[in-house]
Amino acid sequence: MSLALRSSVVLLAGALAAPVQAQESQPSIPGYTFGSPSLGRSPLGVAELELLQKTVLLGPEDVAALRASKAVLADQTDAILDVWYGFVASQPHLVRYFSRRSDGQPDAAYLGAVRKRFARWILDTADARFDQTWLDWQHELGRRHHRVAKNHTDRADSVEIVHFRYLPALIVPVTTTLKPFLAKKGASAEEVERMHAAWVKSVTLQVILWSHPYVREGDF
């Protein structure tokens, strides 16, 4: 690894290591606008969402398992993010999506802002709230990965798009590395498997919804 790349990885890991409080003790997160009337409406409605849920085999048992996982994960969000972002920090091709266009170095302020919202995303996923408000928020998250809105929330001077190929690819490291955290609070092996399977389904569903801005009009 070159000295410049090593320095970038150290900066990225340091920025991502800043602690994030749990949902209940942090009522205001900059850029977190879940439920805001200012959000655009998802092109999908609840009926179409239900069809997607059926397609990824996400049923009532999975909803219950997701909600059970919240108590397990709520005080582990910092540790989970350390693992996830440590993975990103080790992959130069992923680091670039958090880097400044001006000099190619990781943007610590941008990383810090994203980390706070990512911690809340863990709790939102565990809430398993599959309604129109949730759908609208997923649509917004997709826009924030695409050139139509990336960087706007934090006024970051970063690359203009997270290339689509990495959205589905990251399902694997995110859900695989989550499993040990689900096992840390005394749940049985069977309970851990149920929670983990539900997370895989939910993350897959969300990535599908985030893909809308990348798809040609009429093809989604």
Does residue 26 belong to any structural domain of this protein?
A: no
Does residue 205 belong to any structural domain of this protein?
A: yes
Model pLDDT for residues 54-109, shown as the tens digit of each residue = 999 999 999 999 999 999 999 999 999 999 999 999 999 999 999 999 999 999 99
Specify the number of domains making up the chain: 1
Q: Examine the pLDDT at 6 and tell me if it is beyond 70.
A: no
User: Which CATH number does the domain housing residue 9 bear?
Assistant: 1.10.490.10
How far apart CA 162 and CA 41 sit, in angstroms, is 22
Cβ neighbors of 83 (< 8 A, separation 6 or more) are 177
Does residue 28 belong to any structural domain of this protein?
A: no
Does residue 27 belong to any structural domain of this protein?
A: no
Does residue 55 belong to any structural domain of this protein?
A: yes
Range of the domain at 57: 3-21+40-214
Model pLDDT for residues 148-183, shown as the tens digit of each residue = 999 999 999 999 999 999 999 999 999 999 999 999
Does residue 30 belong to any structural domain of this protein?
A: no
Would the pTM of this model clear 0.75, i.e. be above it? Answer: yes
Model pLDDT for residues 14-41, shown as the tens digit of each residue = 444 444 443 344 458 999 999 999 999 9
Share of residues in the chain with pLDDT > 90 (%)? 87
Does residue 32 belong to any structural domain of this protein?
A: no
If you average pLDDT over every residue of the chain, what do you get? Answer: 91
Does residue 141 belong to any structural domain of this protein?
A: yes
pLDDT of residue 22: 37
CB under 8 Å, gap of 24 or more: what pairs does 117-120 form? 117/29, 117/31, 117/32, 118/81, 118/84, 119/20, 119/22, 119/23, 119/77, 119/78, 119/81, 120/23, 120/26, 120/29, 120/32, 120/34
Q: Examine the pLDDT at 130 and tell me if it is beyond 80.
A: yes
Share of residues in the chain with pLDDT > 70 (%)? 88
